[in-house]
A and B are shown apart, each in its own frame.
Chain A
């Protein structure tokens, strides 16, 4: 079965392992992720001011392209793209004046934007369409004894209207990893911001966030984290280098995209090229658990 898919910029650059593993996992589950044509950046961060509709155009143009291509939904892997596309769509379509203005701004387009395309996160597809019971049946290498902390960050749960699960106490990642045979641990800081784009101007803030989030996970017993946001992955994984320099007692922890571990569990294996996309080498823990 085909699923129309929107990748976003970072999945084509620093998070190729996320895209690669997602495509592989979906193939195992009998689905083909079909990349939509002519997509552009989603705009990355949602602009919250009430007046400047220009700032919504990047998101809306992608949705317009999808309408042009007769797609009724877009499956999204990146939490940021998912969140921004959802919020931009709502902001523009809930107000007729906004909708008309935005269509005026895009006067060179061939069709009018109507807001007919649904935006769905891959985790929702796994839970609601494929179901975790079906995924459990397909497990070839259970992630037995691997203690996994699901890191949601902000974008999968806030604002609450676009939360992929309960916005204060979600369990979708924990349930997924339980079905893969892992020991899922809901650790306290799993919904806390990683510092996001402050990683450029306020590196000290993100280093401290990484320190606190990883330590929260370790205290709860986690051996590794999983995420679906390339910015969280950058802050929580790559920034562990600086975190370890800043806090001498800090112990590093591998951070995976959830699809990478799904691939291992479902028999898709661990692709060698994924290792170099990580700062904290994920192979020792996988070897220790006899998963690779």
Chain B
């Protein structure tokens, strides 16, 4: 992958939106990798949490918006808790999900939940998934 870096791209509108929705300054990150090291589901991600922060610094927001990572993150807050710079990485993930969800782009179609599963799934799983994964 190659990225063009320029002032316009780095501080683009979407980076501003991510910072606004998350309340985090993405430029605080100094790439220590603690977030990715502690993430329990990092093996399923296409972009690791520290890379999410780096791409946000580069203004490569399209890659982030379209990543699998933001839908794998379950907001367990391990990254937020351990970040030595106090960045709440999970809130950055939530901001990226929200940008999608507010355009009605989600990853859960309630009609496609397996009937077999639907019998057993507790309300806590269903409501949780609807709130995090549907627009």
Contact = CB atoms under 8 A, between A and B. Distances in A.
Contact of B74 (A8, A52, A197, A230): A197
A80 B122 CA distance: 13
Given A49-B94, A195-B74, A10 B108 contact: no
B133 interface: yes
Interface of B: 20-23, 40-41, 44, 71-72, 74-78, 80-81, 88, 90-91, 94-95, 98, 107-108, 113, 117, 120-129, 131-133
Contacts of B78: 154, 158, 192-193
A209 B20 contact: no
B128 A197 contact: yes
25 contacts: A43-B131, A44-B127, A44-B131, A45-B127, A45-B128, A46-B75, A47-B94, A48-B22, A48-B90, A50-B20, A55-B131, A80-B124, A158-B78, A160-B81, A168-B81, A193-B78, A195-B74, A196-B75, A197-B74, A200-B117, A200-B125, A201-B107, A201-B108, A231-B122, A231-B124
Nearest to A196: B74
A285 interface: no
Q: Is the interface of A mostly helix, strand, loop or mixed?
A: loop
Given A13-B122, A48-B75, 4 more contacts: A10-B123, A14-B120, A201-B107, A201-B129
A121 to B, nearest CB: 16
A49 B72 CA distance: 18
A218 to B, nearest CB: 18
Nearest to A199: B125
The 4 A-B pairs of least Cβ separation, nearest first, read A197-B128, A193-B76, A14-B122, A158-B77
A158 B22 contact: no
Interface residues of A, number: 43
Contact of B122 (A15, A46, A50, A205): A15
B36 to A, nearest CB: 15
Q: Is the interface of B mostly helix, strand, loop or mixed?
A: helix
A197 B133 contact: yes
Given A197-B125, A199-B121, A50 B74 contact: no
A51 B78 CA distance: 23
Contacts of B113: 200
A44 B107 CA distance: 18
Contacts of B44: 202, 205
B76 A51 contact: no
Contacts of A78: 124
A78 B40 CA distance: 22
B40 A197 contact: no
A160 B22 CA distance: 18
